[in-house]
Every structure is written in structure tokens, then in C-alpha cells.
């Protein structure tokens, strides 16, 4: 990757709020400028960031509440920082937006959008797709969709009708709908309004799919489409137009950091005829999609073909770190068995 400085790509014109501004004003700015994070400044000094995740957690309070007390501390960078440093900082912290400071004064922001629009990515969507994400249905309520998003740790879900993916619902649209209903209610407490909004069917805020993204779609083409529509994620379909998961921009960003540079070493051993490079590819593909593995410095995979069987194998994975983890399983497909083991490991780490 060509070494770029933050000053080469950052957005200098930034909409901000002050600590004494209302959450309602913040939502207005998010809607008008299609952003999901707003820096909070006192003069030019950065006080924090308020994002739509924080706001949606507080929807039962009045939107006239002040931004003060709802701010988050985001990582920051300077204008001379390397872009690859920003990528690592975003991947490690899980944010998609970094304030740019010069002498403690906000001079701009850099987002995953700013970084990715100049990148060339290889492979297909299947290399990055999050397949273990729930879906919702047209007659589900907004409240149900919100709970599923929170449980899965995502801000969007595919909407499935008659077995086919018919659209998607975004957390930002739930926030927008909540705000609109509150304004219609005048002086009514938003607590009552939220209850009504959360009982609405998802079709009331569902977005239709502008372009369809399939598992075999080139990743560069899918990314180009997301950037053109300023989407942070899209549903992914299989060849039957059924939901196969979600593609997120932040997962594409993570592809730009090789697992070896994240400090994770993958070692493969075993007996029998199997492709060691393929085993490494399967494991590293999962490392790019999840932040759970940051606690480990080394992952050892051992493959053993079971005698008397042409296809069956035993696979063990040893996660080496401060809190080591060991798992093993047998199966007929090496890649599927590894993925099943990693699914089990992630469930344990999540718990």
C-alpha cells in the first residue's frame, strides 16, 4: 500500500455540536449530512464524540437532553499520521471514524470511507462475509429487529420474505423514525412514543436493495457500490437470492492488515495429504472477520487424517495467549470443520 498521510485524505469540513446542544440537534445533523458520528467541541477543542449507537441506547430519555454526559472518547490522530496507522487504530478499537487534532484542536476527521475509496481490494465477497448474522421478517417489529442487532453486534439486518431477501433495516433508520414520531407527538414524553415506534413492523423503515451483492461478487465491485451509496454494509445473497450474511465496510478495512501484522501467528502441523496453505487461508480469513482473537499471539492447528477413511479427519486448534483455549473436532471437510471449531471458540469467547 502506498504510504499516505492523514492530511492527504481527511475531511476538513466537519459538522460539530457543543456539549450544551441537544441530542435532537445532533440527530438533525446526522440525518441532513448522512453521518453517524458527530464531534463534540468547545470552541475548537475536542471534548468527545456522540454517535448514533449512544443515542439509540437513550431513546427513552427526552431528545432535548444535552449532549454533555453522552459523549464518548474516541481515539485521535494527527494530520501527519500514516494512513496505515489509522487502519490499525480503527481495526483495534472497532471505530470507523477518527477525529484529527492539531495542538488539541479539531481540524478534520478521517473515516473508513476516506481510506477505502482509494484502496484496491482482491478476492470475492465470500472471503469477508459475516454469515452468522440473524435475519428479520416483514411482520417482525422494529423492537424485535433492534434486539437482534444488539445481540449480533451489528447495525443492520437483512429482511427476508418468502425465503428471499427483500431489503434491509438499519439502526440509523430506527433512530430517524423514533425522532420523527417524537416530533409528531409534540410535548408527549418520548418514552410513550418509543413504545409505539418499536411496535411498528420493519416494513415501515425497510430499505429496498439498490444493487444486489452475491457471494461470488468481486469484492472491489461490492466496495465500489457501498461507497457510491455511502453504505456501511449490505446483505449478501447466494445464487438463489436467499440471505447468506452481511458484508461490512469495516471488515473490508480489516483485510488491509495481514494477520501477521496484527501479531497473530498461524502454525499448521499434521499427518496425511492436506493443503497446509489452504488451512492457513481458512484460519486467516476468520481472523480478519473477528476481533475476538486479538487476545492470542499464536494459533496452532493440527490436522490428522483418520486411518481407513479417505475423507474423515481430526482437527485440533490451540489458541496460545494469556488465557489459552484448546478445541478439537472431527469431520469430513477440513475447511468446514475448522470453521465449526472457530464458531465454537467465538461463542465461548463471547460468553
Read off the pLDDT of each residue in 269-290 and give the average, rounded to a whole number.
78
Pairing of strands 37-42, 313-321: unpaired
Question: According to the model, what pLDDT value does residue 349 have?
Answer: 77
pTM of structure: 0.69
CATH number for the region 259-350 comes to 3.30.160.100
What torsion do the CA atoms of 29, 154, 168, 145 make, to the nearest 10 degrees? -100
Q: What is the mean pLDDT of residues 317-325?
A: 86
pLDDT of 14 strictly over 60: yes
Average pLDDT, the chain: 83
C-alpha cell at 162: 418468502
User: What's the confidence (pLDDT) of residue 310?
Assistant: 61
Q: Which residues have CB under 8 Å from 88's CB, separation 6+?
A: 257, 261
Q: From the centroid of its chain, how far is CA 143?
A: 20
Burial 234-266 (b: 16+ CB within 10 A, else e): bbbbeeeeebbbbbbbbbbbbbbbebeebebeb
DSSP state of 38: E
Average the pLDDT over 127-154 and give the result: 86
* Beta strands 105-111; 156-161: pairing state: unpaired
Q: What is the CATH number of domain 125-255?
A: 3.10.580.10
**Percent of residues, the chain, with pLDDT higher than 70:** 87
Whether the predicted pLDDT of 116 surpasses 90:
yes
pLDDT band at 112 (very low <50, low <70, confident <90, very high): very high
Examine the pLDDT at 50 and tell me if it is beyond 70.
yes
How many Å apart are CA 142 and CA 19, to the nearest integer?
A: 30
Closest CA to 37 of 24, 27, 47, 22: 27
Phi, psi of 299, deg, nearest 5: -125, 120
- For the residues of 121-146, what is the DSSP string, one character each? --SBGGGT-B-S---B-TTSBHHHHH
Asked whether residue 288 carries a pLDDT value surpassing 90, the answer given is no
Cβ pair 122, 219 in contact under 8 A: yes
Q: What is the CATH topology of the domain spanning 6-116?
A: CBS-domain (3.10.580)
Tell me the domain boundaries of the chain. Answer: 6-116, 125-255, 259-350
Question: Do 259-350 and 125-255 fall under one CATH topology?
Answer: no
- Distance of alpha carbon 167 from alpha carbon 211, whole angstroms: 10
Query: What's the pLDDT score for residue 154?
Result: 82
Residue 2 neighbours by CB under 8 Å, 6+ apart:
none
Three-class SS of 195-224: HHHHCCEHHHCCECCCCCCECCCEHHHHHH
**Cα within 13 Å of Cα(109), Cβ side:** 25
Neighbours of 117 (CB within 10 A): 13
Amino acid at each position: 500500500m502506498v504510504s499516505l498521510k492523514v492530511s492527504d485524505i481527511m475531511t476538513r469540513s466537519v459538522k460539530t455540536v457543543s456539549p450544551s446542544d441537544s441530542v435532537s440537534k445532533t440527530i438533525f445533523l446526522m440525518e441532513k449530512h448522512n453521518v453517524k458520528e458527530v464531534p463534540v467541541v468547545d470552541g475548537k477543542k475536542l471534548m468527545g464524540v456522540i454517535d448514533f449507537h449512544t443515542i439509540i441506547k437513550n431513546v427513552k430519555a427526552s431528545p432535548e437532553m444535552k449532549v454533555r454526559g453522552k459523549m464518548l472518547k474516541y481515539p485521535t490522530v494527527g494530520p501527519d499520521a500514516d494512513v496505515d496507522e489509522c487502519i490499525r487504530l480503527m481495526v483495534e478499537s472497532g471505530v470507523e471514524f477518527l477525529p484529527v487534532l492539531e495542538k488539541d484542536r479539531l481540524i478534520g476527521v478521517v473515516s473508513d470511507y476516506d481510506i477505502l475509496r482509494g484502496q484496491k481490494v482482491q478476492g470475492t465477497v465470500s472471503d469477508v462475509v459475516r454469515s452468522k448474522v440473524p435475519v428479520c421478517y416483514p411482520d417482525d417489529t422494529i423492537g424485535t429487529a433492534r434486539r437482534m442487532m444488539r445481540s449480533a453486534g451489528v447495525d443492520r439486518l437483512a429482511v427476508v420474505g418468502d425465503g428471499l431477501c427483500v431489503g434491509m433495516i438499519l439502526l440509523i433508520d430506527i433512530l430517524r423514525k423514533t425522532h420523527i414520531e417524537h416530533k409528531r407527538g409534540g410535548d408527549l414524553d418520548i418514552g410513550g412514543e418509543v413504545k409505539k415506534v418499536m411496535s411498528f413492523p420493519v416494513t415501515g423503515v425497510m430499505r429496498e436493495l439498490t444493487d444486489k451483492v452475491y457471494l461470488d461478487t468481486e469484492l472491489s465491485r461490492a466496495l465500489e457500490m457501498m461507497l457510491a451509496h455511502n453504505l456501511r454494509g449490505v446483505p449478501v445473497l447466494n445464487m438463489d437470492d436467499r440471505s447468506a450474511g452481511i458484508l461490512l465496510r469495516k471488515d473490508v478495512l480489516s483485510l488491509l492488515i495481514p494477520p501477521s501484522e496484527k501479531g497473530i501467528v498461524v502454525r499448521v502441523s499434521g499427518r496425511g495429504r492436506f493443503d497446509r496453505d489452504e488451512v492457513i487461508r481458512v484460519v486467516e480469513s476468520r481472523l480478519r472477520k473477528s476481533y475476538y482473537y486479538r487476545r492470542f499471539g499464536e494459533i496452532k492447528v493440527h490436522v490428522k487424517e483418520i486411518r481407513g477413511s479417505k475423507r474423515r479427519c481430526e482437527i485440533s486448534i490451540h489458541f496460545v495467549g494469556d488465557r489459552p483455549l484448546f478445541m478439537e473436532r472431527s469431520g469430513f471437510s477440513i475447511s468446514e470443520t475448522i470453521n465449526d471449531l472457530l464458531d465454537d471458540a467465538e461463542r465461548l469467547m463471547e460468553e
